[in-house]
Amino acid sequence: MSFESLPVLEQLMLAMAAMALFTSFVLLEQERLVAAIHAFAWQGALVSAVTTLVAASSGLRHLYFSALLTFALKALLIPWMLHRLSRRLELDRYAEPLRRPALVTMAAVALVIFSYWLALPIMHENLIFTRNIVAVSLAVVLIGLLMMVVRQQAVAQVLGFMSMENGLFLAAVSATGGMPLLIELGVAFDVLVAMVLFGIFFFHIRESIDSLDVDRLNRLTETEEDTR
């Protein structure tokens, strides 16, 4: 496909979406928690930028509002909350080395390829750039999922969860010009409540196992030596 034939605005949109995918990789590989939170904030800002560009190129007014909402929520509020939580939990110097970084990166690359393959059926002649962004956003979702699997630390898992939400939002904006405003508000509200609850849970978990390493939450299993 020829990217040069696309209007400049759409090329810019693709570049921004690609950078959002890149921040997913940064997030996945980042060992230091605070740096990972910053990477997440950048991802939120990029998604918001893509939304603004879509709004500008398509003339959909309500998208300016969702761009603003995303920026406020994903680039400012949630990173700020996570930052504050990690300081209160004394995790601001926390770093967790990734086990087998090469394998994880390869898996993430495979997920990107898989996303492109899944997006193949969405093949309308004139929607070539949309298909690209649907694939990119699916990749962001799946890499967020991968991050939740490979990370053992609760805050890092929440970052993975939130970056999945970023991918979903990117998909909604790029593929369909955004969901109806009411739904978008509902989703944003759910995400915000989820973030508050995650914050409460960090303290509960630390209270019960004296760490935020969720791998140590392993009392409930189906194995026979369960002696409760």
Question: How many angstroms separate the CA atoms of 89 and 29, rounded?
Answer: 22
Binding mask 181-200 for other proteins (x = CB under 8 A): -xx--xx-xx--xx--xx-x
Question: How many angstroms separate the CA atoms of 212 and 48, rounded?
Answer: 31
**How many residues make up the chain in this entry?**
228
Stretch that binds other proteins, among 19-27, 65-73, 106-114, 205-213 (CB under 8 A): 205-213
| Coil/strand/helix, residue 94 | coil
The verdict on 145 binding other proteins (CB under 8 A) reads yes
Phi, psi angle pair for 220, to nearest 5°: -95, 100
* Residue from 138, 150, 155, 159 binding other proteins (CB under 8 A): 138
Instruction: Give the nearest distance from C-beta 120 to other proteins in angstroms.
Output: 9
* Residues 61 to 120 in contact with other proteins, rule: CB under 8 A: 118
Give me 150's structure tokens.
């490979």
Give me 85's structure tokens.
């939580």
What is the CB-side half-sphere exposure of residue 129 using CA atoms within 13 A?
A: 22
């400049």: which residue's tokens? 8
The verdict on 224 binding other proteins (CB under 8 A) reads yes
Give me 188's structure tokens.
């944003």
Amino acid, res. 54: V
* Residue from 45, 141, 150, 155 binding other proteins (CB under 8 A): 141
In the chain, DSSP finds a helix count (H) and a strand count (E) of: 8, 0
Question: How many angstroms separate the CA atoms of 77 and 141, rounded?
Answer: 21
In the bound state with other proteins, the residue whose beta carbon lies nearer, of 93 and 219, is 219
Instruction: Give the nearest distance from C-beta 83 to other proteins in angstroms.
Output: 21
Q: Are 179 and 190 in contact (CB under 8 A)?
A: no
* Residue from 68, 109, 110, 122 binding other proteins (CB under 8 A): 122
Binding mask 155-184 for other proteins (x = CB under 8 A): --x---x--xx-xx--xx--xxx-xx-xx-
* Residue from 3, 80, 117, 201 binding other proteins (CB under 8 A): 201
User: Which parts of this chain interact with other proteins (CB under 8 A)?
Assistant: 118, 121-122, 124, 134, 138, 141, 145, 148, 154, 157, 161, 164-165, 167-168, 171-172, 175-177, 179-180, 182-183, 186-187, 189-190, 193-194, 197-198, 200-201, 204-205, 207-209, 214, 217-220, 222, 224, 226, 228
